[in-house]
Amino acid sequence: MKKPTILLIEDDELDIISVERSLKKIESGYILHTAYNGIEAFKMLRDANMNLVPDVILLDINMPRMNGIEFLEILRTDEILKDIKVFIMTTSSEASDRSAAEKLGISGYILKPLNYNDNTKRSDSMDAFVQFHLRKILHKENT
């Protein structure tokens, strides 16, 4: 049985650690690949030796070199990759960011910060996403 694959595209090391912590709560196995920007992510996705077609992409909007919206625009034109489930992770409350991402067919939005010290559980936090959405997606992809 193939292990589900997640591609995390994030330039902030603390957010990467927070995502990794949240993902450890998934009881099934998965493979996590990390890219620090959209250009690096496309190098990985187009590397024939890696043969990477993730089940889910977790994508930061605000990154250097190629931001999340630019990445999504290119991803959605690629015949092999265009149907991958993409979840946006962002601090942005800009309606234009949300609208642009939704027009590009995102599966959902996760608001940063990803880690809360006050133990507040928000429906759009990373832990909630892992517990309620990602677990189901990866289980479905794995069956």
State how far the Cα of 42 lies from the Cα of 34, in Å rounded to an integer. Answer: 11
Least confident of 81-95, 99-113, 122-136: 122-136
| pTM (two decimals) | 0.83
Positive or negative torsion for Cα 94, 96, 100, 102: positive
Q: For 28-58, how does the pLDDT look when each residue is reduced to its tens digit (9 = 90+)? A: 678 999 999 999 999 999 999 999 999 999 9
Residue 21's pLDDT band, with cuts at 50, 70 and 90, is confident
The mean pLDDT of 96-110, rounded to a whole number, is: 84
